[in-house]
Structure 1
Amino acid sequence: MLQRIQTIWLLLAVIVSAGLIFVLPLWENSAGEFVYAHEVLIALGMFLASAAISLVSIIMFKNRKLQFVLGRLNIILNLFLLGVFVYWSLTLPGEMDISEKGIGMFLPIISIVFIVLANKAIKKDEDLVKSVDRLR
């Protein structure tokens, strides 16, 4: 059913992954210009892939096991994206490219929290269905 709480959590993850990347900057370079995710091809691709996986997971509401697996895959993708951001911010020497980190670098963490909450609700639904099947 689409009116479950996991749909809301997954929709919030889609908004964070696909919508806020155009609003919140990833970092400020040494020239004082803000760099957004849509300007960095790797970050844009990973954010949009995360949003697409969340949308597919919303559509797969009848197959809860696949929905749960897609949620875990999305968490792994967001952790990898977070690792890329950490790598970029720590390996560049001094004031070379990333001068000041922006709030956009924390978007994968917010997305992970929403996906974990959705997976928790999916697991709860699956356990409820299994308990009802035992009574039959």
Structure 2
Amino acid sequence: MIQRIQSIWLLLAAACGFTTLIASFYIGSSGTLPVEHFTAKDNLLLLVFTVIAATLSVVTIFLYKNRPLQIKLGFAALALSIINITLFFVGIKKYTSGGIALESVAAFIVPVFIILAIRAIWKDERLVKSTDRLR
């Protein structure tokens, strides 16, 4: 299971997803308030979607015997990670000044890792189907 490349991609997606819980996405201030670090823990909906997407990536690793389900769960995790990025940008509208933090790369790279994993799972499924034709 870990020897497959999609397992590595999904593990990296989960690690980056959980990293967004503690790493700053945006550093800014509202008016006269001091500088704040905006993370996924600052918004309840963002927190829930982040945890579900990262957990879904981990769970998908262990479903290696059921590749069609793996692909469906991969697309679900991809949709959740894109929703996460959207929620991050909606959440930074409350700040009047500031900038996107360097650690925000973790949020942007999660969908990339999930897409790479889905692609590898799809290749495995095609390989299995092609060997079934030969029997």
Matching of residues 1-136 of structure 1 within 5 Å: 1-22=1-22, 24-30=23-29, 31-89=34-92, 91-92=93-94, 95=96, 99-136=98-135
1:29 alignment partner, SS class: strand
Question: 1:64-92 deviations in whole A, cap 9, x for unaligned?
Answer: 00000100111111111112222333x44
1:60 alignment partner, SS class: coil
Q: In structure 1, how many angstroms separate the alpha carbons of the residues matched to 2:4 and 2:117?
A: 10
1:85–1:105: 8 Å Cα contact kept in structure 2?
no
Deviation at 1:28, TM superposition (A): 1.8
2:21 alignment partner, SS class: helix
Deviation at 1:101, TM superposition (A): 2.2
Superposed CA RMSD: 1.8
Gaps of 5+ in 2: none
Please give the TM-score of this superposition, normalised by the length of structure 1: 0.85
2:24 alignment partner, SS class: coil
Please give the TM-score of this superposition, normalised by the length of structure 2: 0.86
1:3 alignment partner, SS class: coil
Deviation at 1:20, TM superposition (A): 4.4
Equivalent pairs: percent with the same residue? 37
Q: In structure 2, how many angstroms separate the alpha carbons of the residues matched to 1:129 and 1:53?
A: 24
1:79–1:108: 8 Å Cα contact kept in structure 2?
no
1:19 and 1:87, CA in 2 relative to 1: closer, same or farther beyond 3 A? Answer: closer
| Amino acid in structure 2 at the alignment position of 1:69 | K
1:101 and 1:19, CA in 2 relative to 1: closer, same or farther beyond 3 A? Answer: closer
1:38–1:44: 8 Å Cα contact kept in structure 2?
yes
Q: How many residues align?
A: 131
Gaps of 5+ in 1: none
1:34 alignment partner, SS class: strand
